[in-house]
Structures are given as structure tokens and as C-alpha cells.
Structure 1
């Protein structure tokens, strides 16, 4: 009597849908949550990049040298991200260089007379940041002056969305955007002085 019962149970398909649903649901949920997280991240990133580029254009104008104006412009980047992600921690760093070549290669130029790859033994260098010393990064903090090239770097850091925080990866999303722009030539830019390495 138990053998016919086992044969009937083996041919039965009544629980198959439930088993299939149990197997497929986690995969579909993972795809859905991952897709939502990716789309949200792309949206926040586009707001960060767009507001950073607008801030760079505004900072490059002649009237943007006052600290009140600079603070208002940098706050606009934070506000743009906060409209989408209110709890995001947004930071903005500005570094200025003498020209685009200094921004691409931030080390101050020097004459390597002894070919040792170091600025030493009285070799002449261009003091881009005007501090009297040779620096591996010749930038100056802030927006700089006339015709300076400004590198703006914005970073947004926020906790991941809802259930995606349960996924096995970082609990925070960190987005970074960069842009370079030359300040308006509202004044004549002085050539940087030269110095000598010790």
C-alpha cells in the first residue's frame, strides 16, 4: 500500500511552483535591488558632476574671489547632491596650478643637471607655488589668481539604499568627480619665480 502512494507522490506536480518560486525569488530580488542601487548611484553621480562643472565655471569668473562668493558656490554642489540624497557627506577641494602642464604633472619643474632624478645640489627650479622650496606638488590651495588652472575635486559619501545595505559589499557609496578650468584673465598673471634646490 505504501508503494502506490510513493509512486503517486513522485508523479505529483502540486508543489513544483512553490519550489521554483523559492529558487527564483532571491535571484530576481538581487537583480532588482542591484538595478535600483546602480540607477540611483548614476543619478547622484550626474547631479554631482553637473553641479561641480557649474561651480567650476562660476569660480573661474572675475567676481568669484571673495570668500562669501566662494562659499556660496561650493555650497551649491552640496545642495545639488542633498536634493537627491539628504544624508550625503559632500566635500569639495580646490587646488590651483600655474598652467595646464603643471596640473597634469604637479611636480615643480627643475633642471636636473646631474641626472639623478632629484632636485638637489643647487639645481634651478620653477617655484610655481611661490613657497621658496621645490615641491612634488606645486599647487596652491584654493581658486588661485588670474589665468591659474583650478582643479576641483568633489566627493559624495552616503549609506547605501535600504535592503541593498544587506548585500555583501561596502556599506557606503563613495562618488568622486573632478574638473579642470582656467580662471578668467581679469588680471595679468605674473611668471613664477625660480629658486635653487639645496
Structure 2
């Protein structure tokens, strides 16, 4: 009996930790699945971009709220001209003097059409035809039961990202070029 009294707290702690990890994995898989479905929906032509974005945010939130009713869910999107721009978001430029900076009248491609060279050439929102859209969903919720007392942070924050290219329902316009100051 004494042995069980010594081992029981450790077993209970391991059980609670295992349940917390399993629950977090379940919420994450539901979030990723809802986000991927949203990505497929956002690429389709149809309603206005604002209405579509609101509907997609609501569908992701509904999927998460079925598991955790009190969770905070946010959905954001950025669009890029091409997949490689997601990995390296700096606008392309011709580094004529090989100093690693856009300067001294070097030509650059103004991907976000703001008239200046940027380290991040993305545009907030869904973008245009053939643009690559990066969807980012973030869920924040209070941990389960006693693990709230044992954890360093009382809330769990999960983030899921996915990429999809908009339907080529129109030709993608070439971005303007500019010169670096």
C-alpha cells in the first residue's frame, strides 16, 4: 500500500500530462483540417473577397469551437506573387554593385505595388489571380483541468499555416519595376 501511495501521484501526473498532449494534438489536427478546407474554398472564384474571408474565418472558428467552445480564433492571410516569394519575401532586385542592399538606382520588382523596395513584398489579404495565399490561423485556449495549475503558461496557443494558389481565372498582371534610392 505504501508503494502505491508513493507511485500514485506520479502516475496521475503522467496520465494528466498524456491527456493534455493528446487533447492538444486533437485540437491542432482539427485546426489544420479546417484551415486546409478554408484554403481550398478561398481559392475559388465567387463572392467578394471580404465576404469570402469572413465566411472562411467563421468556418475555421466553428470547427475549433466544436472542440473548445471558449477558444479565441484568428485568421489572417497574406498573398505573394509566387511560391518562392513565401520562402524569401524580399522583393527581387538587381544587385549591380554586389553589396547585398537595394541602393544606388538598382532596379527592383515592386511586388506589392507600393512604390518602394521592401524586405517583405507580400500584400495583406487574398491577392489576385494566380497569387499564392498564405493562410495563418491561431487558436488560444485555457488548458484542461489540473494541468492549468501545473503548466508554466495557463493558455495554449496553436498556429497553423497553409499555402494555396488562387485559381487562374484571370491573367496575373506583371508587377511594376522601380529603382532603389
* Residue 39 in structure 1 maps to residue 22 in structure 2: yes
- Post-superposition, which runs of at least 4 consecutive aligned residues in structure 1 deviate over 6 A? none
Q: Is the 8 A contact 1:132 1:195 kept in 2?
A: yes
* Residue 58 in structure 1 maps to residue 30 in structure 2: no
* Residue 114 in structure 1 maps to residue 104 in structure 2: no
Q: Is the 8 A contact 1:58 1:64 kept in 2?
A: no
**Aligned positions of 1:93-172 closer than 5 A:** 93-172=76-155
Distance 1:174 1:68 in 2: 27
Aligned to 1:5: none
Distance 1:99 1:109 in 2: 12
- Residue 64 of structure 1 deviates from its aligned partner by 4.5
- Residue 114 of structure 1 deviates from its aligned partner by 1.1
Q: State the number of aligned residues.
A: 181
**Which structure 1 segments of 5+ residues have no match?**
1-16
Question: How high is the TM-score relative to the length of structure 1?
Answer: 0.89
Distance 1:77 1:191 in 2: 33
CA RMSD of aligned residues (A): 1.0
- Residue 65 of structure 1 deviates from its aligned partner by 3.6
Distance 2:162 2:143 in 1: 26
**Aligned positions of 1:1-20 closer than 5 A:** 17=1, 19-20=2-3
Q: Is the 8 A contact 2:45 2:169 kept in 1?
A: yes
Aligned to 1:3: none
Report which of the two structures shows the higher radius of gyration computed on alpha carbons: 1
- Residue 21 of structure 1 deviates from its aligned partner by 2.0
Distance 1:151 1:65 in 2: 18
**Which structure 2 segments of 5+ residues have no match?**
none
Question: How high is the TM-score relative to the length of structure 2?
Answer: 0.97
More helix by percentage: 1
**Aligned positions of 1:62-73 closer than 5 A:** 62-73=45-56
SS in 2 for 1:63: coil
Q: Which of 161-170 and 29-38 deviates more?
A: 161-170
Distance 1:140 1:21 in 2: 60
**Aligned positions of 1:85-100 closer than 5 A:** 85-100=68-83
